Amino acid sequence: MKTIKKIFHKQANHTSLIKRLIAYGIDWYLGSVLASLPLMVTYYMMHDHVKIIPNQITLFDYPMNIIVALLCFVVTFFYYVFIPYKYDGQTLGKKLLKLKIVNEDYSTLSKKTLLLRQVVMMLLVEGSIYASTATLHQLLQLYSGAAFTKIYTAVGLVITILSIVLLVITKSHQSLHDLVCHTLVVDTASTEYQNQLIQLQKQKKRMKKCISW
């Protein structure tokens, strides 16, 4: 009960949900295209006469299906983890909409937090709508059975819906992955963000003074 109260009494985040939705749509589309690219290119190299290539890992026999799936995951990792790490919490969608992912105190994300948020929470736990997670589901169905995959997919979909609901109804506009990882999506052009950066710089200066003493 205390945890629930804490979630709903966090400081308000005035970042536009419309901007976040647009940025998410851009990232979802680009991430899906990139995640499907290894499969499409590999299959076309093997069958250059085809015009339509379904995004199905079952197109390949073992061990090529594993290799292609791993390539898809590597590309996904590059877009959702390496790029925001390299560009200070911004994917291309967030960069275009002037948004970024930060810690709750507005400090820069660590590698560990970024991995937990982007890979574990978004792609593995909530990832039912991501192309890379669909590839994972296909592999699980091949090697773990349809029953387990259906349960995993259904649970992921429920968690995704819960995450969207939390994003909308909480004052801090934190989805489930933000709440677990203690992160925020903020508008870098807002006065609120600039003021928080100033406060963060002041805190760092005070800490340096205390250490010097």
Candidates 135, 132, 127, 124; CA nearest to 59 is 135
pLDDT digits (tens, 9 = 90+) for 8-26: 888 899 999 999 999 999 9
Band of the pLDDT at 1, cuts 50, 70, 90? low
* In the chain, where the domains are located: 15-187
What residues pair up with 184 in beta bridges, in sequence order?
102
- Quick one: DSSP state of residue 128? G
pLDDT digits (tens, 9 = 90+) for 116-133: 999 999 999 987 777 778
What is the amino acid identity at position 5?
K
- Quick one: DSSP state of residue 89? S
pTM: 0.88
pLDDT at 83: 96
